[in-house]
Structure 1
Amino acid sequence: MTHYFNPQQEDVLKELINVSFGLSASLIGDMLDNHAKLHIPEISSIDILNLDDKIIEILEEKYDFYLTKQRFLGSFNGEVLFVFNTYSAQAFSNLLLKQSSSDESDIKASILELTNIITSACIGKFCEIIDGETIFKVPSIEKREIARMDEYDKVEGYDNVIVIKTALDIEKENILGHMFILLNKQMLEHLKKTIDKL
């Protein structure tokens, strides 16, 4: 595993993400009319070339998964990906729509709503600390098969990935999500320098 951050930088990063996750959980709880808690995230960093292998490793199964993508542009720019296994995606959609099962379009719409909240809070917090501004592009979502990973388009234009694993607790449902923040070398260095000043 690549370590882009030293232990002190990682602690600050974890604290920033924790604060943004607290805000996200509050918004998600309001949306669901229920108490929501995002667990303390596990953070690691990898080279972009290892992204597909990491997705396969964290899913721990050989089936389908949902992948959302959202670009952010400005003085802080990059892309956020989220990965959910089919169980977590279905469970969240059912809770949001208050029904026992959801069809494909419901699941995709629900997951996009969830990831939009977390992405805005998280990237917004990063922008705050680097005194930067960013705008978000319209997010996209697709269902992918692990068995066909080699056939999908590779992500280009980035060097580094911050991997964030968290669980969203709602009504005893453990909805597991993996967030990937994709940055180029310049953005990563900018972020690290700012974290050092903090």
Structure 2
Amino acid sequence: MNPTLSADHEDSLKELLNISMGQAACKLATLLNHPVTLTIPSIDIASPGQLMEMFGDVKANYYTRQPFFGQMSGEVITQLTKQGGHTIASDLLALDDDQVIDSQTLHDSLLEVSNILSGASLRGLCEQIELDTRTQPPVMYSPARQPIPSNKWQQAIILHVSFLIESASFETKTIICFAEDGFNVIVNRLDEWL
């Protein structure tokens, strides 16, 4: 498996992801009724061991996992900052400032946001390069309690995208982990696309 992307592959992937994440920002802005701004995606490649190191302070973030399958399989992990999480949930549910959010409602709201973001990054990418994949619903995940087994994923493409929402400082990181030769499937499709 080739552990790197060429400059052309990376530029193409960034362009495709920028389109997909722009659609996600638009959908999130509509749901929250607030403007959402996003940064240009940056891309890194990591092994499972490097991926665990990239999680940083796991106490400062929420995490979700969302398996996918089809012409390639793997898992999307979304990292969402705890800072701003309650504000996002309140805005998503159109709650008043004095209404309290219980942990289950917070998690349900974060799962909805995660599903929008992972759906945009993976499904949007796959639609553009004509790969058939399906996703399962996301679930909450704790890297501290459930580390990624080093033999489960061979390669991960880490997509760094920050969303800025006027009502809260809220940042996400989307991580796509590929099983078996999924990474090569992406590279081969990008070759065809180029």
Q: Which runs of 5+ in 1 are unaligned?
A: none
- 1:184–1:62: structure 2 CA closer, same or farther, 3 Å change rule? closer
> Corresponding residue for 2:31?
31
Write out the 4+ residue segments of structure 1 that deviate beyond 6 Å after TM superposition: none
Task: Trace 1:55-70 onto structure 2 (pairs within 5 A).
Answer: 55-56=55-56, 61=57, 63-70=59-66
State the partner residue of 2:148.
154
Maintained 8 Å contact 2:72/2:181:
no
Please state which structure has a larger fraction of its residues in helix. 1
- Higher strand proportion, which one? 1
TM-score (norm 2): 0.86
Q: Tell me how far 1:28 sits from its aligned partner.
A: 0.8
Give the total of aligned pairs.
Answer: 188
Gaps of 5+ in 2: none
TM-superposed CA distance for 1:91, in Å, is 3.1
Q: TM-score with structure 1 length normalisation?
A: 0.84
1-structure distance, mates of 2:124, 2:111: 20
Tell me the distance in 1 between the aligned counterparts of 2:41 and 2:51. 18
CA RMSD of aligned residues (A): 2.2
Identity of aligned residues (%): 23
Q: Secondary structure at the match of 2:131?
A: coil
Separation in 2, partners of 1:85, 1:126: 24
Match of 1:94 among 90, 97, 101: 90
- In 1, Cα distance between the equivalents of 2:130 and 2:161? 26
Please tell me whether residue 188 in structure 1 is matched to residue 178 in structure 2.
no
Secondary structure (helix, strand or coil) at the match of 1:40 reads coil
Other structure's SS at 2:10 match: helix
Range with greater deviation from structure 2 (177-186 or 117-126): 117-126
